[in-house]
Amino acid sequence: MKVRQDAWSEENDLLLAETVLRHVREGSTQLNAFEEVGDLLNRTSAACGFRWNAVVRTQYEKALSLAKKQRKQRSRTIEKKTLYTPPAEGSLAITMADVIGYLQSLDSIDAVKAENERLRAENEQLQCRLNKIEQSSEIMQEDYETLMKIMNRARKFVALDDQEGAAVTFKMEQNGNLEKVAE
């Protein structure tokens, strides 16, 4: 029997199986494993995938399921690590200047808060004064309008009297009284 020149050897199958299992364990894809083996054996990744699915996979089913479990376990531990990472020892080096700067910033924050509160109270007082001035201005405006109405009525009244008074003449007596002169 003649063996093909490009036939798969047991060593090639073993390399393919180990590489695929390693990629699965580390969370990579089988396609990446096929490409890696294809580069090593001078074969296409499609040929490696076909060989894996047709022959090698059946021999390594238990190892493949174990690799998948290890991948899940590994991803869970990575998730747990990302949930809480304790601070590194070197990052806790706080200098006295840092502490002083922080405390000074707290003092300045308190001063700004106090100033803000003072300005808020002053603003309320000024708002009250403005409201009172506006009310008194409205009252003065109403009084002015009332006075103007009275003056206009008085002018009209005087104008009517003047028209009637044109026919009537007066004479001043020595004591300063006015006396109506008959026509």
- Helix (H), strand (E) at residue 80: helix 61-83
Q: What is the pLDDT of residue 182?
A: 66
Q: What is the pLDDT of residue 88?
A: 60
Residue type, 120: R
With contact defined as beta carbons under 8 Å apart, do 24 and 67 qualify?
A: yes
Q: CA 176 to CA 139: how far, in whole Å?
A: 42
Q: CA 32 to CA 25: how far, in whole Å?
A: 13
Q: What is the pLDDT of residue 160?
A: 76
In angstroms, the Cα distances linking 41 to 10, 36, 44, 102, 172 are 13, 9, 9, 63, 143
Apex 78 CA angle, 75 and 84, nearest 5: 145
Q: CA 139 to CA 22: how far, in whole Å?
A: 92
Mean pLDDT, 10 residues at a time, over the chain (183 residues)? 80 95 93 95 95 94 92 82 62 79 85 92 96 95 93 85 63 76 65
| Domain assignments of the chain as residue spans, ordered by start | 10-83
Q: What is the pLDDT of residue 82?
A: 66
* Residue from 38, 28, 128 nearest 74 by CA: 28
pTM for the full predicted model: 0.43
* Residue from 99, 25, 123, 28 nearest 68 by CA: 25
Q: What is the pLDDT of residue 164?
A: 62
